[in-house]
Amino acid sequence: MANTSKPRPKPRPKEGKLSVYLYIPNIIGYVRVLMNSVAFAICFSDKWVFSILYFISFVCDAVDGWCARKFNQVSTFGAVLDMVTDRISTACLLVVLSQVYRPGFVFLSLLALDISSHWLQMYSTFLTGKTSHKDVKDSTNWLFKAYYGNRMFMAYCCVSCEVLYIILFLIAKSQSESLVDVLLGTLQRVSPLSVLVALSLFGWAVKQLVNVIQMKTAADVCVLYDIEKKHKH
* List of residues 6+ apart from 149 with CB closer than 8 A: 136, 137
User: Taking Cα atoms as reference points, which of 126, 118, 125, 119 lies closest to residue 207?
Assistant: 118
Catalytic-role residue among 61, 82, 86, 114: 86
* List of residues 6+ apart from 206 with CB closer than 8 A: 143, 147, 157, 160
Task: Report yes or no: 157 and 206 within 8 Å, Cβ to Cβ.
Answer: yes
Give yes or no: 138 in active site.
no
Residues designated catalytic: 86
